[in-house]
Amino acid sequence: MDSPFAVLKFLILKTPFILRTVLYHALSLSPTSSKWDLRTTLIVNIVRDMLTNSPPSTISKQQKDTLRDPGIKGKMWVSKVTMPAPSEDAVRDLLFETIDALKQENEEYSRPALVPVEAEWTGYRAGVADNAPELSISEAEKYENLMKEVTSDVTLLYFHGGAYYLMDPCTQRSATSKYSNLTGGRVLSVRYRLAPQNPFPAALLDALVSYLSLLYPPAGALHKPVPASHIVITGDSAGGNLSLVLLQALLQIHRAAPAGNVPTVVFHGKVVELPLPAGVALSPPSLDLTRCMPSTENNAQYNYLPPPSISPTKSPPCTIWPTDPPRADLFCEGSALCHPLVSPLAAKSWEGSPPIFVVCGEEMLTDECKAFVQKAAKQRVRAVWEQYEAMPHCFSLLLEGNAGGAMSFDSWSDFVKRAVQSPEEIVTRGEFITAKNLVRRPVEVYKLMDMSDEDILVRMRNARQKMIECAATAC
């Protein structure tokens, strides 16, 4: 929406729809009446209607609309930084070697250059009003003030969601400042390159540079070296995907190193080690870009995201889409859709991973999240799983003030702090949280999905083939 007037116009046009939604909820005629309060019902149904019934728009417009900077005000410190690209190609070459080592078939991918990576250090700013203006001081002074309010060792490396082609750190500031407040730490929110202009693995290369820059600050950086044991990688939706593919890349780099040795790489002229982070916290991650799992369709009543049949690849043509030459997916070549660093659901091994936390609703991504957590737990990864009954995608961010969302934030922050301060206390566990009354019920993490890894991979490959064929015939 371009302005408050546009929002008002939209709501006026949708008045009959809104009234019908309220009536159905009040009379318990809606399938979600017993699970949702009225506020949740209105928000989810309005967002769903906007995403599925709005006139088609180009990828350029969709992207532009989600990159508008709302400004900085209120209870947040934001210090904008740029992490320079290393002059040597060692990091880039290492990533390509890792991609090739994880190939399962004949996957094709582009070979992006190393570029400077922009990011925002975000922290909580206490003692000011919600509309307090940003101070007119330098970025370095903002960072100094931010650090004065940090009360823990937690450093979050955060990747935003948006299907890899939408959103920006500027749109997630309210979330990242909340993350900082909940953990007492600081957040580095990364402006990774977006598709379709920058397909896989550009975002992953930016993520790897960001991680290395935390560990080994380049000249002129505002921060001091951050121990890997203080870093928790976190993200939502596509940002959760990026978090996990970064982790899988690091795990593969460790697997390829000589036994007993920490792998190294040349970064800004120095040979440095590549340790694993303290943990990964996800809410909820997008793990399967083929969208082949049953929950994609089965959980439609609780979902607002468009079904796979309404694909952004079918958007009206513009300067950035379709690409030249054309490809089957906005983010990657069709052949790469099942690569473990594109769809981490296809990864064979998570052994050796640090602890992982996944929170999910009852939504499109539920099955892929369950399958991932189950596999990780079976491979002796300490995995914490929380599922909230009848909740939509990214409910804790969408439904601000929702009691379930607040509970999930508390669980998320508890995991993050434990991962840094007392990792030995983290144990594998799973819980299902009931709607409305929020009763926690234990679930068996090792039995979340009744589907084998082999069956899942077959489903993914079949779905990939259909996507490639559909792109070729413009179906």
Query: Could you tell me the pLDDT band of residue 3, with boundaries at 50, 70 and 90?
Result: low
Three-state DSSP at 325 gives coil
Instruction: Determine the pLDDT at residue 8.
Output: 66
Distance from C-alpha of 365 to C-alpha of 243, rounded to nearest angstrom: 16
Q: Indicate the residue type of 243.
A: S
pLDDT digits (tens, 9 = 90+) for 197-208: 999 999 999 999
Instruction: Determine the pLDDT at residue 6.
Output: 64
Q: Indicate the residue type of 411.
A: S
Once rounded to an integer, what is the mean pLDDT over residues 229-248?
A: 99
Instruction: Determine the pLDDT at residue 7.
Output: 63
Listed in order, strand segments (DSSP E) in 319-407 are: 356-360, 383-388
Distance from C-alpha of 458 to C-alpha of 281, rounded to nearest angstrom: 28
140 CB neighbour count, 10 Å cutoff: 12
Q: Indicate the residue type of 384.
A: V
Instruction: Determine the pLDDT at residue 228.
Output: 99
30-39 contact pairs (CB < 8 A, 24+)? 31/301, 32/301, 32/302, 32/390, 34/435, 35/302, 35/389, 35/390, 35/435, 35/436, 36/390, 36/435, 37/436, 39/399, 39/402
Helix (H) or strand (E) holding 214: helix 202-215
Q: What is the DSSP string of 440-469?
A: EEE--GGGS-SS-HHHHHHHHHHHHHHHHH
Q: What residue spans define the domains of the chain? A: 4-62, 69-473
Peptide bond into 306 cis (omega under 30): no
pLDDT digits (tens, 9 = 90+) for 99-128: 999 999 999 999 999 999 999 999 999 999
Once rounded to an integer, what is the mean pLDDT over residues 292-306?
A: 94
Instruction: Determine the pLDDT at residue 307.
Output: 86
Query: Could you tell me the pLDDT band of residue 14, with boundaries at 50, 70 and 90?
Result: confident
- Cα 186 to Cα 205, 236, 314, 318: the distances in Å are 22, 17, 39, 38
Query: What percentage of the chain carries pLDDT values higher than 90?
Result: 88
Residue 401 makes CB contacts below 8 A (sequence gap 6+) with none
Once rounded to an integer, what is the mean pLDDT over residues 51-69?
A: 94
Distance from C-alpha of 270 to C-alpha of 265, rounded to nearest angstrom: 8
Instruction: Determine the pLDDT at residue 127.
Output: 97
Contact 448, 374 (CB under 8 A): yes
Backbone angles phi, psi at 236, to 5 degrees: -125, 140
pLDDT digits (tens, 9 = 90+) for 146-161: 999 999 999 999 999 9
Instruction: Determine the pLDDT at residue 31.
Output: 86
Instruction: Determine the pLDDT at residue 422.
Output: 98
Residue 392 makes CB contacts below 8 A (sequence gap 6+) with 44, 302, 303, 304, 361, 363, 398, 399
Q: Indicate the residue type of 464.
A: R
Distance from C-alpha of 263 to C-alpha of 95, rounded to nearest angstrom: 13
pLDDT digits (tens, 9 = 90+) for 321-370: 999 889 999 999 999 999 999 999 999 999 999 999 999 999 999 999 99
Q: What is the mean pLDDT of the chain?
A: 95
Distance from C-alpha of 253 to C-alpha of 357, rounded to nearest angstrom: 22
Once rounded to an integer, what is the mean pLDDT over residues 50-77?
A: 95
| CATH, domain range 69-473 | 3.40.50.1820
pLDDT digits (tens, 9 = 90+) for 357-409: 999 999 999 999 999 999 999 999 999 999 999 999 999 999 988 999 999 99
Q: Check whether 262 has a pLDDT greater than 90.
A: yes
Query: For the whole model, what pTM was predicted?
Result: 0.96
Instruction: Determine the pLDDT at residue 5.
Output: 65
Q: Check whether 451 has a pLDDT greater than 70.
A: yes
Query: Could you tell me the pLDDT band of residue 253, with boundaries at 50, 70 and 90?
Result: very high
Once rounded to an integer, what is the mean pLDDT over residues 432-445?
A: 97
Instruction: Determine the pLDDT at residue 4.
Output: 62
Query: What percentage of the chain carries pLDDT values higher than 70?
Result: 97
Q: What is the DSSP string of 31-86?
A: TTTTT--HHHHHHHHHHHHHHHHSPP--HHHHHHHT------BSSEEEEEEEEPPP
Q: Pick the residue with more confidence: 54 or 418?
A: 418
Q: Indicate the residue type of 287.
A: L
